[in-house]
Amino acid sequence: MGKIIALANQKGGVGKTTTTINLAASLAILEKKVLVVDADPQANASSGLGVDIKQVECSIYECLISHADINSAIHDTEIETLKVVPSHINLVGAEIEMLNLKNREKVLKGVLVPLKEKFDYILIDCSPSLGLITVNALTAADSVIIPVQAEYFALEGISKLLNTIKIIKSKLNPSLEIEGFLLTMYDSRLRQANQIYDEVKRHFQELVFNTVIQRNVKLSEAPSYGVPTILYDADSTGAKNHMALAKELIAKSK
């Protein structure tokens, strides 16, 4: 049985999508069957994995709203064992359309759980909000990875997210666990980055991944070519960091 992991943080620009794409690619290179579910209307994870958004006829939106078969929304990527369910700008309005649905927080769970037999890991790239789609992702997930930017304001929004996770755990998904806090955009030369790391480690202890994702130009260049960093430059720091993260995640799952 596969594992569903949501990548969530309502603060934008913390590296959620970058982490989703590159962690997924690294897991796939390590011979795991991986599915990325793009649950962000901006659809950056989709385009970052080479999907032409304008050509997509069936996205996660159709699966949630029109009960389309999730299998017809699965697209191939340049890595054979890595697939993606793309997003669509229509997802912006999906939250309003879902308001009248029965069990509206569990729609995504119903869509994804049958896929756990086909994939080792299903990674959900959440939008930078705590709206109904993100609640759906956290309700469907077995665990959540929380990317935290190594800068001063990084810790501000975490208590809000943790509160949301606590509510979802008590009301919708009792088995939801925190997979770990992941420090992103880390620059070891900056004293502040080291202070943030120490503070996150002090607060959350063993819940913090040993791997940190360093600032790296190749990480930001790769999406414009529609490929993960490991295919763009396998020797780059960004590619190596995410490979280390994938190995750490696999080791934790054993």
CB contact at 8 A, 126 and 7 = yes
Q: Which residues pair with 85 in a beta bridge?
A: 37
> What pLDDT was estimated at residue 182?
94
pLDDT in tens, 146-201: 998 877 676 777 888 898 899 999 999 999 999 999 999 888 777 777 788 888 88
pTM: 0.94
Percent of the chain with pLDDT over 90: 65
CB contact at 8 A, 141 and 176 = yes
Answer whether residue 3 shows pLDDT above 90: yes
* Per-residue confidence band for 107, with pLDDT thresholds at 50, 70 and 90: very high
- Report the chain's terminal Cα–Cα distance, integer Å: 13
> What pLDDT was estimated at residue 109?
96
> What pLDDT was estimated at residue 176?
96
Answer whether residue 80 shows pLDDT above 90: yes
> What pLDDT was estimated at residue 90?
87
Tell which wins on pLDDT, 44 or 13. Answer: 44
**Which strands make up the sheet holding 34-39, listed edge to edge?**
75-76, 82-85, 34-39, 121-126, 3-7, 143-149, 177-184
User: In 3D, which of 120, 104, 112 has the Cα closest to residue 141?
Assistant: 112
> What pLDDT was estimated at residue 146?
94
> What pLDDT was estimated at residue 157?
73
HSE, CB side, 13 Å, CA atoms: give it for residue 20: 36
Backbone angles phi, psi at 31, to 5 degrees: 70, 30
Answer whether residue 7 shows pLDDT above 80: yes
Answer whether residue 252 shows pLDDT above 80: yes
> What pLDDT was estimated at residue 1?
84
User: In 3D, which of 164, 132, 131, 125 has the Cα closest to residue 147?
Assistant: 125
What are 231's two structure tokens? 């295919």
> What pLDDT was estimated at residue 220?
86
> What pLDDT was estimated at residue 210?
92
- Determine the residue type at 165: I
Pairing of strands 121-126, 34-39: parallel
CB contact at 8 A, 177 and 40 = no
| Cβ neighbours around 210 below 10 Å, total | 10
User: In 3D, which of 193, 235, 184 has the Cα closest to residue 212?
Assistant: 184
> What pLDDT was estimated at residue 174?
96
Residue 189 belongs to what H/E stretch?
none
Backbone angles phi, psi at 179, to 5 degrees: -70, -40
> What pLDDT was estimated at residue 130?
83
**CA angle (94, 96, 101) in 5-degree steps:** 85
> What pLDDT was estimated at residue 149?
85
Answer whether residue 219 shows pLDDT above 90: no
Tell which wins on pLDDT, 143 or 196. Answer: 143
> What pLDDT was estimated at residue 21?
96
CB contact at 8 A, 144 and 138 = yes
Q: How far apart (Å, rounded) are the C-alpha atoms in residues 84 and 82? A: 7
pLDDT in tens, 15-52: 899 999 999 999 999 999 999 999 999 999 999 999 99
Give 174's contacts (C-beta < 8 A, 6+ positions apart).
none
Distance from CA of residue 153 to its chain's centroid? Answer: 21
User: In 3D, which of 196, 190, 187 has the Cα closest to residue 216?
Assistant: 187
Q: For the chain, which domains are there?
A: 3-253 (3.40.50.300)
> What pLDDT was estimated at residue 83?
97
